[in-house]
Structure 1
Amino acid sequence: MLDSNRLRRLEQMPLWDFALSFYSAPDVEGACLTLQDTLGIDVCELLFHGWLFVHGLEALSVPLAKQRKEREIWQREVTQVLRHLRRHLKPEAQQSASIDTLRKTIQQAELQAERENLQRWQTWAIENPDDEVRLTNCALISNDVERWLQDRLFFAELDKSCLHASGAREDISSAWQTLASRLDRFESPR
């Protein structure tokens, strides 16, 4: 049975506010980018699961899978296109003020695309027009946060092809540990 108090507290802390606060914690940005660039993890979804976790909630796998597909389309067709353009222009931006301005504009658009994606995750979690049960109480022991995060994102078994690169396994493990420890310490209403 879903705890209505947890859901109410979830509504009082917008996902965007959580994302800004959590992402700015020491080493979180680097950990998120490592997982994004090495494993293809959607940082917005990662932040979504962290937001639910600090409120003692988690998404149920079947409705989550449907929403994940919608969010993947957004990420692929909007956010990743902007990210690719921003990264592609980085060398030129160092040589040209006008390209640097363009790159900064693209960076702002990328941030807005991520904000929109997080808003859609939040709306999905809070609004339930079809009376579909989407969330449940999370009965997680804190020392299992790292494994829980990996399982939420279906990465319990890491892709072996990405781990052959020198140091990749350690970088990925360190990133998961960093995120888990920061979530454990996050000021939560649990």
Structure 2
Amino acid sequence: MLKTIALDSTRLQRLQQTPLWDFAIALYAKPGVEEACLSLQEEAGLDVCEVLFHCWLYASGLEATPSALAHQREQRRLWQCQVTEVLRGLRRDLKATATSNDSVKALRETIKQAELMAERENLQRWQTWACEAQNHEQRVANIADMPQDVAKWLLNQLLFSQSADPGSGGSNEQNGCFHSLQTLTYQLDPQQGAR
């Protein structure tokens, strides 16, 4: 983690003026981002909502404080496991049948919309957590020095305090994860490609 400095109210106001859902939709629509997010989800086991949350913070020059992040991460993980992943599993299970059965196709589409609503709710909970901290609790802080390599910064944010060992995956998996993070961060900061 990079050293942080006292929270700048201008950065926090900028964050509060950009809803996480709107930010996520805009970022997700950029070239390569959808594929990168799906790769991070499927191959690296990362929570795309958390990835987008850290990107949203970065765009305002902020980062989550490690001590506060651990509990929230667990709450969001539970939501993903108990709600979003259940819906995703149902949607995937119906895929084959939906190709030849119109009523199953309609049901699958309804489940797909519910899955999207679950993701939106999860993002809303991340946003509320970051923006509505009590005065005595600092959940976000300024990034003291903007990182030269945003993909590495993002990887550190995502792997900090996680139970998974970041070195346990094979080098191909790590390279794919890092490539996906580079795709994401290039869309956040196009100057990354020029450095």
After superposition, where does 1:1-190 map in structure 2 within 5 Å?
1-129=6-134, 131-154=136-159, 158-161=166-169, 163=170, 168-185=173-190
What TM-score do you get using the length of structure 2 for normalisation? 0.87
The CA distance in 2 between the partners of 1:159 and 1:77, in whole Å, is: 27
Give unpaired runs (5+ residues) of structure 1. none
Q: What is the aligned partner in structure 1 of residue 3 from structure 2? A: none
> Among the aligned pairs, what percent are the same residue?
51
Q: Which runs of structure 1 show a deviation greater than 6 angstroms over 4 or more consecutive aligned residues?
A: none
1:142 CA drift (Å): 4.6
What TM-score do you get using the length of structure 1 for normalisation? 0.90
Deviations 1:20-51 (A, max 9, x none): 00011100010000010011100000000000
The CA distance in 1 between the partners of 2:103 and 2:147, in whole Å, is: 49
Distance 1:142 1:15, change over 3 A: same
Q: How many residues align?
A: 183
Provide the secondary structure at the position in 2 that maps to 1:136: strand
- The Cα RMSD (Å) is 1.9
Give unpaired runs (5+ residues) of structure 2. 1-5
1:172 CA drift (Å): 2.3
